Amino acid sequence: MKKNIFVALDFNSLDKAVDTVSMIKDEIAGVKIGTELYAICGNNGLTKFKELGLEIFLDLKLHDIPNQVKKTVAAVKSFDKVKYLTVHTSGNYEMLKAAQESAGSIELLGVTVLTSQSNLEGVGVKNSVENQIKLLVNLAIKSNISGVIASAQDISLIRSLSKELKIFCPGIRSGEDKQDQKRVMSYADFSKKADDKCFAVIGRPIIEGDPVQNIKKIIQSIK
Ligand code: C5P
């Protein structure tokens, strides 16, 4: 089976992140570097992971005026190390279109809805979760970006709108402890829904404790 796990390297030290990745790199499709690690290690970190032969997903979740997002995407492209970069679909069409104009070989992924309905209401969104996801995914489709970040619970809905979009799913949990994730799914259930354009983004269930045993258990859960 094609490898479909991106490990979220939510560490405050590059050494810890590199040690963890070195232990599990044969089992994963790539690494996700978020704002915490990127703030600490910058491009130096990107180079290290590139040297390990892994695809790099830089999770900066850009959301700004279109011109600034466009220039930031161009700056990331100039490093020539990043394969996937996140932007917020709620930045709206003009921002997404501007980002895509300078993306070149970088594949942009648009963050959709991962929160509960009550959280949507808390920021003044009156749409149901389903309608909000449809609206944001349609913005991603219209602006021609490569994929979206969404709960695995939304894979079927997103596939009813597009067969082409890549779908990256955080919130993968097997046990009872959801931590701060609200819309979760086990890796086994994700795998039943996933096609070859779907990827799991998994952080704490892999990096906390013993990463080798953790990923082994996750992969064996589908056998
Ligand atoms: O530790 P856990 O598996 O919950 O990590 C999930 C990762 O996915 C985190 O790095 C988080 O930043 C990321 N993510 C998320 N929700 C989003 C976008 C990204 O949990 N909307």
Q: Cβ–Cβ contacts within 10 Å for residue 176, how many?
A: 5
Closest atom of ligand 1 relative to the 202 alpha carbon: 3
Residue 149 in contact with ligand 1 by CB distance below 6 A: yes
Looking only at the bridges linking them, the beta strands covering 147-149 and 166-169 are parallel
Helices marked H in the chain: 14-24, 35-51, 66-79, 93-101, 117-122, 129-142, 155-161, 187-193, 204-207, 211-220
Residue 181 in contact with ligand 1 by CB distance below 6 A: yes
Which residue among the candidates 61, 83, 97, 182 is catalytic per the annotation?
A: 61
Q: Over the stretch 25-49, which tens digit does the pLDDT of each residue have?
A: 999 999 999 999 999 999 999 999 9
Predicted local distance difference test score (pLDDT) of residue 47: 94
Q: What whole-number distance in Å separates Cα of residue 223 and Cα of residue 219?
A: 7
Domains contained in the chain, number: 1
Q: Over the stretch 79-131, which tens digit does the pLDDT of each residue have?
A: 999 999 999 999 999 999 999 999 999 999 999 987 766 788 888 999 999 99
What is the CA(86)–ligand 1 centre distance, in A? 12
Predicted local distance difference test score (pLDDT) of residue 180: 74
Quick one: tokens of 128?
């149901």
Quick one: tokens of 157?
């809905």
Scan for tokens 């913005």, then name that residue: 139
Residue 8 in contact with ligand 1 by CB distance below 6 A: yes
Find the mean pLDDT for residues 150-165: 96
Burial bucket for residue 74 (CB in 10 Å: 0-12, 13-18, 19+): middle
Q: What whole-number distance in Å separates Cα of residue 89 and Cα of residue 139?
A: 7
Which of these, 80, 98, 111, 84, lies nearest to 30 by C-alpha position? 84
DSSP string computed for 54-80: -EEEEEEEE-S-HHHHHHHHHHHHHHS
Residue 202 in contact with ligand 1 by CB distance below 6 A: yes
Does the active-site annotation cover 61?
yes
Answer for the pair 89, 110: CB distance below 8 angstroms, yes or no: yes
Domain span at residue 198? 5-220
What is the CA(171)–ligand 1 centre distance, in A? 7
What is the model's pTM? 0.95
The sign of the CA dihedral 29, 35, 36, 38 is: positive
What is the CA(133)–ligand 1 centre distance, in A? 17
Predicted local distance difference test score (pLDDT) of residue 116: 66
Scan for tokens 């990923």, then name that residue: 215
Question: What CATH code is carried by the domain that includes residue 149?
Answer: 3.20.20.70
Q: Over the stretch 176-194, which tens digit does the pLDDT of each residue have?
A: 677 777 788 999 999 999 9
Quick one: tokens of 77?
């492209």
Which of these, 201, 188, 150, lies nearest to 1 by C-alpha position? 188
